[in-house]
Amino acid sequence: MTLGLSILDQSTIASGRGADEAIRETLALARLADDWGYGRYWLAEHHNSGAHAGSAPEMLVAAIAATTRRIRVGTAGVMLPHYSALKVAEQFKVAEAIAPGRIDLGLGRAPGSDGRTAFALNPNAKEAADRFPNQVMDLLGWLGDGLPEGHPFRSVAANPLVPTRPEVWILGSSDYGAQVAAYFGLPYCFAHFIGEQGSEQVMALYRDGFRPQPGRPGRLAAPHAALGVFALTAETEAEAWRLYRSRELWRLFRDTGRFPPLPSVEEAEAYPYAPEERAHLDRIRARAIVGAPEQVKTRLEALAAAHGAQEVAVLTPCHDPAARQRSYRLLAEAFGLRAGALPEAA
């Protein structure tokens, strides 16, 4: 089975450039990805962050859907506990009206921020997170399943009424999301770029617990899994590892609770690493998917096979926007992508 290849974009803010530029870089890359043959373009959600500008992925979905031709556009994901399920259903029905049959609605339970920010978004965020499966059920109801008898909002319609519905995914970096996806018979994406530990076991839990629901719109007859993976390529292996230095320094910041803009390669090369910091990053570097195009392709295929994943969504934060575009173009060429619609998960 051919491995599906997609893009995951956090609208990363680069040092020396503004968050508004990060948004415009996202829009430009999405149009190129449409031409290069990528299957999906997914937008992440982060709040109160100096590192990521994508605080409203549903708006980026609409903007990209309106300016592309064939690529599926979606979220990875909407952090559902922050919001009303009805409002999310309406937002993505509007997106379906803009680009019928091309919208993905990836849902997550994590806050995508710190606790104070989560409270500012929704004072009942903690309780809402505990009700995540109920919210998913309500959302599926408003997207077309219908709400059950006795539901207090059964008579409330999610507008606009459109003939197509978004493809709903569950996203996560732990076994919780895998179990939710399996229960509802939905496709699942594991955020491998956040944490690798136990990832194969989580994917096995999803497959083993999957409840086939053939014939139900939006549900699957068999499990369908994806991995969100960091990967970076360039014309040569040496150049790819040079570009990786900025991501490497940012990863050090992240692992110590800091979320600044992505530093440049030059800033990373000048950084005074302590021995323990260098040792920590060397362990990460040994597993990083970085190299020449064919090297990265081989690593991605092996990782997907080990996890039983049918797709990978590649995250490539890069300080130089031209280098980031080049990495995705080279990867598309290595995989032999061509413009053409990607089948729905099945």
* Amino acid (1-letter code) at residue 185: G
Q: Tell me, what's the pLDDT at 339?
A: 67
Tell me the pLDDT tens digit for each residue of 111-156.
878 889 999 999 998 898 899 999 999 999 999 999 999 999 999 9
- Residue percentage of the chain with pLDDT more than 90: 90
Tell me the pLDDT tens digit for each residue of 20-30.
999 999 999 99
**pLDDT tops 80 at residue 226:** yes
* Amino acid (1-letter code) at residue 208: D
Q: Tell me, what's the pLDDT at 126?
A: 82
Tell me the pLDDT tens digit for each residue of 77-115.
899 999 999 999 999 999 999 999 999 999 999 887 888
Could you give the 3-state DSSP secondary structure of residue 265?
helix
In a domain, 221, yes or no: yes
DSSP 298-334: HHHHHHHHHHT-SEEEEE---SSHHHHHHHHHHHHHH
Are 72 and 38 a contacting pair, CB within 8 Å?
Answer: no
Domain extent at residue 107: 4-238+290-334
Q: Structural domain tally of the chain?
A: 1
In a domain, 272, yes or no: no
Q: Tell me, what's the pLDDT at 114?
A: 87
In a domain, 48, yes or no: yes
In a domain, 256, yes or no: no
Place of tokens 């207090």: 152
**pLDDT tops 80 at residue 51:** yes
Residues 6 or more apart whose Cβ sits within 8 Å of residue 210: 182, 185, 220, 222, 223
**pLDDT tops 50 at residue 344:** no
Q: Tell me, what's the pLDDT at 341?
A: 40
In a domain, 315, yes or no: yes
What is the rounded CA–CA span in Å between residue 88 and residue 94?
A: 10
User: What CATH number corresponds to the domain at position 67?
Assistant: 3.20.20.30
State the pLDDT confidence band at 53, using cuts at 50, 70 and 90: very high
Token reading at 96: 């379906």
Work out the number of other CB atoms within 10 angstroms of the CB of residue 51. Answer: 21
User: Please, what sign has the CA dihedral across residues 322, 16, 273, 51?
Assistant: negative
Q: Tell me, what's the pLDDT at 345?
A: 44
Tell me the pLDDT tens digit for each residue of 232-266.
999 999 999 999 999 999 999 999 999 999 999 99
Are 117 and 145 a contacting pair, CB within 8 Å?
Answer: no
Tell me the pLDDT tens digit for each residue of 176-223.
999 999 999 999 999 999 988 899 999 999 999 999 998 898 899 999
In a domain, 280, yes or no: no
Q: What angle do CA 36, 39, 42 make, to 5 degrees?
A: 105
Tell me the pLDDT tens digit for each residue of 282-314.
999 999 999 999 999 999 999 999 999 999 999
In a domain, 28, yes or no: yes
Q: Where is 191: in which H helix or E strand?
A: strand 188-191
In a domain, 273, yes or no: no
Work out the number of other CB atoms within 10 angstroms of the CB of residue 321. Answer: 18
- SS3 of 65-123: HHHCCCCEEEEEEEEHHHCCHHHHHHHHHHHHHHCCCCEEEEEECCCCCCHHHHHHHCC
Q: Average pLDDT in the 68-72 region?
A: 97
Q: Tell me, what's the pLDDT at 96?
A: 98
Q: Tell me, what's the pLDDT at 242?
A: 98
